[in-house]
Structure 1
Amino acid sequence: MESNMFGKLQQQFLCCYPVNKMAWSTLQLPLELDAQRALIAATCAHPLNQRYPVRRSYQEAFVKRLMHVLKDHEELHDDIYDSLCGQLAKATINESAGDSSPAYAYKHYVLQPHEQITLRESNSFVSEGTTGLCTWEAALALADYLLEHRNLLQDKNVLELGAGAGLLGILLKQKSLQLPVQQVLITDGSEACVQLMRDNIAFNFPESDDVGKPQCAQLRWNQISEFPWTEYPSPDLLLAADVIYDDTQFSALLKALDYIYELRGNRCEMLLASTVRNVDTLHNFMQQLEEHHYQVTPCANVSACASHFCRDHTAAVQIVCIKR
């Protein structure tokens, strides 16, 4: 992906970063017509978005915000109007045909020039009985943490619990990043999530063999002993992001952790990232970890200036290391 004068806005647009928090201040106003055209070419008309579009509602919100930023300009480029009219026309056509908004759209996480992770994700926070069909803030924070602490991955077999759309597992096996990880297995209890992970793995690793890409499987925490453990390498490092927002799942998760740690003779550790939505819920789970004889150590978050992802750093995320 070629660098350009609108690189930050392009990166934010492709991963659906909140429109009201985008780097609009990087625009050198007033923006000449050629620059306006170049901005649309870098975002709405970008080849990735044309082929694998982000949410229609997001594109519409982006163009409207851009028009507001340029409200004092005497003239706006036709490409800006065309981008907005195109999204409104699609919505009108779908409504006329009795179709609702598409259930899925894409996000593109740009890691470096010519390298990105593309994920197909649900347009709804809750879909098919699960919240795992889209990427949450804690997964991005944990991805940043792993990229800044590559030594934690050295020769490790990784198991992710509640992997959702599969961002972390796909990141770990990106050839261009050359992370020192061994086998990566990403799991979820939802059949819909597992199918989505398979699709996203196939999309991001079209030519890789099994060693060069993550594996995925369905793993229900309350049926942990029934999982075919002998078919996969023994895990050294467990990962999980945004899996403890529901205290009704604590018991099943703790039993799953107990089983895996005992299976490994306690020779493994876990990195758990959680968005701090409810302090009491988070504290409750940490207390239960201690009751199950785990040692919990807080980990420092990656700063905004060192982040590899466009993510909302105002959202509090707690990362802890769990050992026994």
Structure 2
Amino acid sequence: MESNKFAKLRQQFLCCYPVNKMAWSTLQLPLELEEQRALIAATCGHPLNQQYPVRRSYQEAFVKRLMHVLKDHDELHDDIYNSLCGQLAKTSLDAAPAPSIYAYKHYMLQSEEHITLRESTSFVCEGTTGLCTWEAALALADYLLEHPSLLEGKNVLELGAGTGLLGILLKHKALKLPVGQVVITDGSSACIKLMQENISLNFEYDSDEATPKCAQLRWHEVKEFPWSQYAEPDLLLAADVIYDDTQFSSLLAALDFVYEMRSNRCEALLASTVRNVDTLHNFMVQLEQHGYQVTPCANVSCCKSHFCRDTTAAVQIVCIKRLN
């Protein structure tokens, strides 16, 4: 089937993988007109993109890159021109009003199963960086999918959940992961609103028990969190939460509180994009000073990844335990 022929490019397009790094080499050039039509249908014309479109500027960049790849072809299918002209026309129409600061990404899992997330089109929006999915979350998602035994019967609490990718993944019914209750939290009210929207997008007809719970948790107010409303956490998750060293003390206080509440019968998986080696090292040192045992975990290789991940920056995953 043509749709399977372009599966990799479709997967990359739907999650807005960098256009210049896409699998253009998988195209067997030259492409006949019908193949060109099928490629556009698998990407810009995909039903997910039609219902919940990815960022407009990304679609425009994708079509322009495709036209460059096909530059030596005598003829291009009208659907390619129509896709580009459609995006340019929308940009022109939106020149007066401010364009939306949100768009969608679709993470393909298996077959046609997917996770759809509404995300910010800007790295920093509404005073937070949590309104878009970061590389560390994808790396941690890969790690959990490769090690499902870590989830066996565990109640999960995520700190700094942002868009909610990990919590939605853990409860996705197609994956059938052996997880207990999943609670995804963030300190930002904007992130909470976005997570609630994303949960609704992915669990439209599911019961409350089958979906992740969503709650606001400010680390410095960890004692005021309504813990009695949720199951005691066995596994804590956090991705890309230690880039700001001014937050270290409140994050450590939150970890201390949860571990003490559980009499140290819990553990945490922390994934961090290595932007500043000194910042990351400083936090690891502080963890050890607080009595935690930090063990590095092996990353899932790109060839085994369930996602299209941009591995330009390295991601470090560690397991955090505390001895009694």
Q: TM-score range by the shorter chain?
A: over 0.9
Given that residues 54 and 107 in structure 1 are in contact (C-alpha distance below 8 angstroms), is that contact kept between their aligned partners in structure 2? Answer: yes
Structure 2, unmatched stretches of 5+, are none
Q: Hey, what's the Cα distance between the residues in 1 that align with 2:305 and 2:256? A: 33
Partner of 1:47: 47
Q: Hey, what's the Cα distance between the residues in 1 that align with 2:47 and 2:201? A: 16
Given that residues 2 and 114 in structure 1 are in contact (C-alpha distance below 8 angstroms), is that contact kept between their aligned partners in structure 2? Answer: no
Q: Hey, what's the Cα distance between the residues in 1 that align with 2:309 and 2:266? A: 29
* SS in structure 2 of the partner of residue 141 of structure 1: helix
Matches within 5 A, 1:89-108: 89-95=89-95, 98-108=96-106
Partner of 1:308: 306
1:68-89 CA-to-partner distances (Å, cap 9, x unmatched) read 1111111111111111111111
Partner of 2:116: 118
Q: 1:154 aligns with which of 132, 137, 152?
A: 152
Partner of 1:240: 238
Q: Hey, what's the Cα distance between the residues in 2 that align with 1:40 and 1:263? A: 53
Residues 1:3 and 1:45: Cα distance change in structure 2 (over 3 Å): closer
* SS in structure 2 of the partner of residue 129 of structure 1: coil
Given that residues 3 and 42 in structure 2 are in contact (C-alpha distance below 8 angstroms), is that contact kept between their aligned partners in structure 1? Answer: no
Q: CA deviation at 1:101?
A: 2.1
Q: CA deviation at 1:114?
A: 2.2
One-letter amino acid of the counterpart of residue 263, structure 2 = G
Q: Hey, what's the Cα distance between the residues in 1 that align with 2:3 and 2:288? A: 48
Q: CA deviation at 1:102?
A: 1.1
Matches within 5 A, 1:162-241: 162-241=160-239
Matches within 5 A, 1:2-151: 3-95=3-95, 98-151=96-149
Partner of 2:253: 255
Given that residues 273 and 315 in structure 2 are in contact (C-alpha distance below 8 angstroms), is that contact kept between their aligned partners in structure 1? Answer: yes
Q: Hey, what's the Cα distance between the residues in 1 that align with 2:312 and 2:124? A: 23
1:167-197 CA-to-partner distances (Å, cap 9, x unmatched) read 0000000111110000000000000100100
Structure 1, unmatched stretches of 5+, are none
Q: CA deviation at 1:2?
A: 9.2
Give the 4+ runs in structure 1 shifted more than 3 A.
none
Partner of 2:289: 291
Q: Hey, what's the Cα distance between the residues in 1 that align with 2:313 and 2:320? A: 22
Structural RMSD (CA): 1.1
One-letter amino acid of the counterpart of residue 59, structure 1 = Q
* SS in structure 2 of the partner of residue 34 of structure 1: helix
Q: CA deviation at 1:263?
A: 0.5
One-letter amino acid of the counterpart of residue 23, structure 2 = A
Identity percentage over the alignment? 78
One-letter amino acid of the counterpart of residue 146, structure 1 = L
Q: Hey, what's the Cα distance between the residues in 2 that align with 1:2 and 1:242? A: 38
TM-score normalised by the chain length of structure 1: 0.98
TM-score normalised by the chain length of structure 2: 0.98
Q: CA deviation at 1:268?
A: 0.3
